[in-house]
Chain A
Amino acid sequence: MNAEPKPTQETQDDFPADLVAYLDGELDAEQTRAVEERLSQDLDFRRQLRELQRTWDLLDHLPTANVDDSFTRTTLAMVAVSAADDAERVAARQGRRKRWFWWTGMGAAAAAFAAGYVAVWELVGRENRRLLRDLPVIQRLDQYRYADNIEFLRLLEREGLFTEDETGHAM
């Protein structure tokens, strides 16, 4: 260890706090020794110590509580009521969560059913719409067989041969 440090301004300022900490048994060995050394030399410091100790002892005159059984009973009853309330709240929350899962499940099933229905309807509808569009061609398929190539048919289409009038006949 180094030689004993000279008291600095800081350590001097700490002395009142150190004196209280000394009384409270909160100083380490070195700090304790420093306080005791000063106590042995400083009359005023010793007086401070005595006065601090004396006023500390006076705190024994502060009121301390005598608690009767009724306080214990009411405290335990209050906690029991609170615990019952908590249990009720937990049960209610679990019930709400169950209902939420049920309704969410039902909603998801309904949504899946609706999506499937729309998909099937779309698929079947698309085929029907294609047949409907091609109906004039289908109706005259036998006649079109005589055409040699597709370019000839396209030419006929441009000239409005495949467009039907209001009576359903080719124009």
Chain B
Amino acid sequence: MSLTGTLALKPSPYETTDPDVRLMLQVRDDNAVAFEELVLRYQARLISVLQNLVRDRDRAEELAQDVFLRVYRARKTYTPGAKFSTWLFTIAHNVASNAIRTQARRREVHVAASGGAASSQSLDALAPAPSGQMPARQLDKAELAEVVRAAVDSLAERQRMAILLAKFEHLSYEDIAVTMGLSVKAVKSLLARARENLRAILEPYLQEGRRP
């Protein structure tokens, strides 16, 4: 779906309801201060989502810079057809998807070159022995963070993206649908499967200390 497609004859409703859209319209008029303000507002949120998508902080920062660069380059054709965050995360989704595909291709080449001897990053391989403690046990924060991260990493890319947009960006199903180029019904189903998968992975850990 094109968010900057047709020129609106009257002001978009997003201009009045979304201050970030107004900032972006100032960026369109070459206001550098407005662009800096947008970077400041979104950099941490963007890096958080990207970091959880690509599992690498440095790579996430590079991708975030790429996203901001694309935003700046697209400024002259920008027309507010959605909330600014939806537009921004649509770009981020495209950038991250491309990066993940490239990363996967590189990994394939690497595996082929090494005769398939490279170890996979499966959760089973990462998981140490269960602690054996029962539900009432005190959960170690670092361990919990690691387990949650492994659980999220085990989700398919699209499920991960939908979860991150819903959890961190509090995007509605409709906005997630726009961001990911899906129907609202597909997003509902995607999120249901993602959360069911997380429940299936994390509940045994919470109940019995069984690490995924």
Contacts and interface: CB of A to CB of B under 8 A. Distances in A.
Contact of B43 (A26, A52, A71, A80): A71
Nearest to B149: A62
Interface in A104-130: none
A58 to B, nearest CB: 5
Contact of A64 (B36, B39, B48, B166): B48
Contact of A61 (B36, B65, B145, B195): B145
A16 B206 CA distance: 21
B42 to A, nearest CB: 10
Contacts of A65: 43-44, 47-48, 51, 57, 60
B152 to A, nearest CB: 6
A82 B44 contact: no
Given A59-B163, A61-B144, A63-B149, A51 B44 contact: no
A76 interface: yes
Contacts of B202: 55, 58
A79 B203 contact: no
A57 B122 CA distance: 24
A35 interface: no
Contacts of B189: 17
Prevailing SS type, chain B contact patch: helix
A20 B198 CA distance: 12
Contacts of B43: 65, 67, 71-72, 75
Interface string B191-204: 11001101100110
B83 interface: no
Contact of A56 (B39, B60, B144, B167): B167
B87 interface: no
Nearest to B190: A17
A75 B68 CA distance: 8
A72 B37 CA distance: 10
B72 A79 contact: yes
Nearest to B174: A26
B26 to A, nearest CB: 15
Interface string B145-172: 1001100100000000001001110001
A149 interface: no
Contacts of B52: 62-63
A21 interface: yes
B195 A21 contact: no
B141 interface: yes
What 3 A-B pairs have minimum CB-CB distances, sorted nearest first?
A: A17-B192, A65-B47, A61-B145
Interface of B: 32, 35-36, 39-40, 43-44, 47-48, 51-52, 57, 60-61, 64-65, 68-69, 72-73, 141, 144-145, 148-149, 152, 163, 166-168, 172-173, 188-189, 191-192, 195-196, 198-199, 202-203, 206
